[in-house]
Structure 1
Amino acid sequence: MIRPVAVIGAGPFGLSTAAHLRARGIPVRVFGDPMVSWRDHMPEGMLLKSTPVASSFDCPQPGHTLGDYCDAAGIRRLVTDEDIIPAETFIGYGEWFQEKLVPGLERVRVVSVDRDKSGAFELKLDSGELFTARAVVVATGLSGLEHLPAELAGAAPDGPAPTAPLSHSSQHHDLSRFAGKDLIVIGAGQSALETAALAAEAGARVRVVARGRGRVAFGAPPWKQPRLRPESPFGRAWSLWALSYYADPYRFLPEQTRHYLVRRVLGPLGAWWLRERFEGTVQVTDVARVAGAEAPDGRPVLTVRTHGGRSERLTADHVIAATGYRVDIAAMDFLGHELRTRLAVSRGAPRLGAGYVSSVPGLYFTGLPAASSFGPVMRFVCGTEFASPRLAKHLAAAHG
């Protein structure tokens, strides 16, 4: 009996990888709840920052783009750079893609992954099933990678939570709970700015606390993009074009450079269409840094350092930390201890070789955990176009 490949995760990268493996005739079992991060961990009313051309899952078969889904669902076709994608439409697209190309998806959780004596992988599911796979693809997206800076931990000693004085932006779907309340959102990226705008529209009094001088920044609208530079899914720029389509050499850059580019390319920056909803509605406080946080009486208090060197205290009814995500193999506790200790890592992220394979033969990573090896394109859905065919080709050659 041929052992299958296990794909853990049913978001854009997991579904795209599975579609490529199935097209090659490779037996595959896919585990997860389709589009769960988008459905349960994004605020209601959210719009995608990416353009339609950058928002399709890659697959070998034609007819499965976001535009094709719009046609099938009988909704307005989203194709131009000025078309803005509602999260609900994108979630529907992901579920449609899964039904068409990954019909055997198993909605169970992988509890553990270990190596057996033969070198194969033994997986345990929360259904109680044990089975062996010849290779494993980790495509768990942002799950478990929420980052809370140490200086904020004092306001949530038991961890961030919607019912605590401080939470992470991934923990909110319905922001109407803050109607009539004072809310602080920490961050200057799209997540922070859109969360703040949506909360203000739901009736909250919102202040964004961001590091930097001057007001928060927004991208240029499509009609103001430079025309004499090559197109990429992220805009017109030579650097963005190279990072999008020629990501293979990225892993040979110095470690410090790789991690810096993953953090800084295209961020922190709000979408062009958000500016009008944000400005004049949300108060912005620029600070040199957030020095600490506490909640002595159940209400959060931030201590910030101003650009002039002063210390100030900011109070609110609740604080949302839109502080992003950080890849850390240690947080992927479904990977057995021996596997985690054998993985070569770079600042917590797996070091990957050609074809997205880790230092443990047969163990692959795609999506955000691959960004430190293949660049910022792995932070975005359009990264499936680069990652999925290469991963499937390598896996087929190595385990055919």
Structure 2
Amino acid sequence: MTLVELTAPTLHDNPLVDLPVAIIGAGPIGLAAAANLVERGIPFEIYEAGDRVADSIQSWGHTRLFTPWRHLVDPASRRLLEAAGWTHPREDVLPTGSELVEAYLRPLAALPAVAEHLSTGARVTGVSRDGADRTRTSGRERTAFLLRVSGADGTREVRARAVIDASGTYRSPNSLASSGLDLLGAEEVQHAISTALPDVLGAERERFAARHTIVVGAGHSAANTLLALAELAAGAPGTTITWVIRNSAAVRVSSAADDELPARASLGGRVQQLVAQGRVRLVDRFEIVRLRRDGERVTLIGHRGDALEELTADTVVNATGFRPDLDLLREIRLDLDEVVEAPRRLAPLIDPNLHSCGTVRPHGFAELQHPEPGFFLAGMKSYGRAPTFLLATGYEQVRSIVAHLAGDRAAAAKVELVLPATGVCSSSLGGTASASSSCCGPASPSSCA
């Protein structure tokens, strides 16, 4: 049986019509889904694990996006905001993550039509069908979804007619280990491991100034951290930087002359210049196999060719990319590509071995369907481990999903989107793509701009 044959009944002929659509995550894509549902007059509830909207973006809010405002605002959200007197920021300006939240996402979440249906500090820990685990087939498409939600007041269960999981991937970083498994010794050195995009020049300056930092990763998150560390080192003597990659050549963060996002195109050349000047030490072909604590420092132990080598630093920044958290979906019937963990129909369109952000074909509900009727992954989480995501792509995803749920088949099928042209974002100088290198988001893959 094909996915199309398993398509859920639309909300107009759904016996669960009195239940809301559940949205997991109040980031840009989750809020865009809500805006589209508002316009369609479909009830919904949003569950955000953080204590504030766009919590993940605010974690790297100091970082400037390389995408201008004209590509960052969802059309349905813009219509709702402008009806309330909101003014769109100047289209050619590159905001920081914090500016994206303050100027756009927070006002959107504050609209009464959205705010009245938004719960923060509400972590969805499991999704299933009400009274039916994944093995039960009979009547499944007409059985309500059941979401288990944990918060300050305890754990509760809520029912929904459909689920849009837009929870992102920022809280699920890839392992530092080349194997993808949790690194041996990691528990002993958690104090010395930083997540991607630390605030090197601001709140976390003391952690990095006059100390040695190893940045692991070959994409835009790594590039931005290396540039920030180099700026810090210029004014903080004793600050040293090592860049560790597992390929034999440094991954080329897009530097194409015809890239329509100039801020992105400049990253590769700037980082390579730091290496050429000796301001950043590049260690290539380093396959990390374990970590060891040395006092308050951390040592990376890895294979480099046939030799076993060690690198010691005060702090290690994990900029190896992200993966979807699928644990909460164990009772949902998913059809995921075995390589990138994206919906199977979507995976060939976003494969980082073949595509950059600008060559990803627009797509909607048809490519995002699973064997579980009424369930959709959207936004960065729908891309699995592929780093080729842009916010505009996610906005088109949820527009199509909501049109499908509303029974508007023509609107759901008419998927149109013009993306900014890009250079190759995730291929190495030697031509080998790396799925762990981040691409095309803000300067980070987490929110994806």
* TM-score normalized by the length of structure 1: 0.72
Deviations 1:336-359 (A, max 9, x none): x432xx322222444466163321
CA distance in structure 2 between the aligned counterparts of 1:182 and 1:122, rounded to whole angstroms: 48
- 1:243-258 equivalent positions in 2, closer than 5 A: none
Aligned length: 336
- Contact 1:114/1:123 (8 A) holds in 2: yes
Letter aligned with residue 120 of structure 1: A
CA distance in structure 1 between the aligned counterparts of 2:183 and 2:303, rounded to whole angstroms: 17
Which runs of 5 or more structure 1 residues have no equivalent in the other structure? Answer: 236-268
- 1:233-312 equivalent positions in 2, closer than 5 A: 271-272=265-266, 276=270, 279=274, 280=277, 282-298=279-295, 299-304=297-302, 311-312=308-309
2:316 aligned with 1:319, yes or no? yes
- Contact 1:8/1:137 (8 A) holds in 2: yes
1:208 alignment partner in structure 2: 243
- Contact 1:20/1:60 (8 A) holds in 2: yes
Query: Using a 3 Å threshold, how does the CA distance of structure 1 residues 192 and 160 change in structure 2: closer, same or farther?
Result: farther
CA distance in structure 2 between the aligned counterparts of 1:303 and 1:156, rounded to whole angstroms: 10
Letter aligned with residue 313 of structure 2: A
CA distance in structure 1 between the aligned counterparts of 2:281 and 2:70, rounded to whole angstroms: 32
Query: Using a 3 Å threshold, how does the CA distance of structure 1 residues 167 and 119 change in structure 2: closer, same or farther?
Result: same
Query: Using a 3 Å threshold, how does the CA distance of structure 1 residues 59 and 47 change in structure 2: closer, same or farther?
Result: same
Query: Using a 3 Å threshold, how does the CA distance of structure 1 residues 349 and 302 change in structure 2: closer, same or farther?
Result: same
2:111 aligned with 1:111, yes or no? no
Query: Using a 3 Å threshold, how does the CA distance of structure 1 residues 59 and 31 change in structure 2: closer, same or farther?
Result: same
Which of 212, 218, 226 aligns to 1:182? It is 212
- Contact 1:5/1:29 (8 A) holds in 2: yes
Letter aligned with residue 345 of structure 1: L
Letter aligned with residue 123 of structure 2: R
2:334 alignment partner in structure 1: 343
Which runs of 5 or more structure 2 residues have no equivalent in the other structure? Answer: 1-16, 132-141, 346-364, 410-449
Q: Offset of 1:319 from its aligned partner? A: 1.2
- 1:48-197 equivalent positions in 2, closer than 5 A: 48-59=65-76, 62=79, 64=81, 71=87, 77-80=89-92, 83-92=93-102, 93-100=104-111, 102-104=114-116, 105-107=118-120, 108-117=122-131, 119-126=143-150, 127=153, 128-151=155-178, 153-154=182-183, 156-158=185-187, 161=190, 163=191, 165-169=192-196, 174-176=203-205, 177-197=207-227
Aligned-residue identity in percent:
26
Q: Offset of 1:55 from its aligned partner? A: 1.9
Q: Offset of 1:154 from its aligned partner? A: 4.1
CA distance in structure 2 between the aligned counterparts of 1:376 and 1:157, rounded to whole angstroms: 25
1:382 alignment partner in structure 2: 392
SS at match of 2:321: coil
Q: Offset of 1:14 from its aligned partner? A: 0.5
Q: Offset of 1:88 from its aligned partner? A: 1.8
1:333 alignment partner in structure 2: 327
Letter aligned with residue 27 of structure 1: P
Q: Offset of 1:29 from its aligned partner? A: 0.7
CA distance in structure 1 between the aligned counterparts of 2:188 and 2:378, rounded to whole angstroms: 28
- Contact 1:213/1:286 (8 A) holds in 2: no
CA distance in structure 2 between the aligned counterparts of 1:343 and 1:189, rounded to whole angstroms: 29
Query: Using a 3 Å threshold, how does the CA distance of structure 1 residues 23 and 216 change in structure 2: closer, same or farther?
Result: same
Q: Offset of 1:310 from its aligned partner? A: 5.2
Q: Offset of 1:130 from its aligned partner? A: 2.9
Deviations 1:59-88 (A, max 9, x none): 2653759xx96x47xxxx4423xx432222
CA distance in structure 2 between the aligned counterparts of 1:346 and 1:214, rounded to whole angstroms: 28
RMSD: 3.5
